[in-house]
Chain A
């Protein structure tokens, strides 16, 4: 099955800077990848979906890229704010119905 790898070390970043998170997949190239945000004590919240034929997707200050050659997706938070502090999860479909395999997530801490 697919293995999703995310940097387990927390990313500490200063307000206003760009945070860049990495998601690597190990086996087959998925049809798409999804990114979620999870705050402590809450369930994950869907942010963005990028398909394998899309190089880049944007939503407000968020940008996601998908590089099938590198087997990697990058997640960028531009002009980061303390409210962006959370854990960000990458997920890949496991079957044709949309069952997901989640990475362990990367915690982002934005300091003023």
Chain B
């Protein structure tokens, strides 16, 4: 199965700043997903990022706040813009090797905003 690397693994940021999270996959994959997970809670999908098309955002998430790039089949970035303490969370990327296939996750980026 695909191996996913996320960077950074954790960061502490000042409010009002932006952070870009990178997700690198060791093989070419079509579907890539970005999630947010609050401590002790489940995963909430932010957006689906497929190569060659604009990311599709879920209700409650907008491109201005969470711009996503997907330049090729092995890489994606998620930017958390103009951060506030409410953005403190774990951000995870996952990939799927095909339609209705299991997802494989990175270990996440633990983000704290002061």
A interface residue numbers (CB < 8 A to B): 31-32, 34, 41-46, 49, 89, 93, 96-100, 102-105
Contact = CB atoms under 8 A, between A and B. Distances in A.
Given A43-B92, A43-B94, A100 B42 contact: no
A17 to B, nearest CB: 25
Interface in B42-56: 42-43, 45, 48
A100 B45 contact: yes
B70 interface: no
B45 A41 contact: no
Interface of B: 1, 4, 31, 33, 41-43, 45, 48, 92, 94, 96, 98-108, 110
B40 to A, nearest CB: 9
A43 B100 contact: no
Given A102-B43, A104-B41, A97 B107 contact: no
Contact of A96 (B41, B99, B102): B99
Nearest to A107: B40
Given A97-B31, A99-B33, A43 B101 contact: no
23 contacts: A31-B100, A32-B100, A34-B103, A41-B108, A42-B108, A43-B92, A43-B94, A43-B105, A44-B43, A44-B92, A44-B94, A89-B42, A89-B43, A96-B100, A97-B48, A97-B99, A98-B31, A98-B96, A98-B99, A98-B100, A98-B101, A99-B48, A104-B41
Nearest to A39: B107
B105 A41 contact: no
A102 B94 CA distance: 13
Given A43-B108, A102-B43, A34 B102 contact: yes
A15 to B, nearest CB: 25
Contacts of B31: 97-98
B24 to A, nearest CB: 14
Contacts of B43: 44, 89, 102
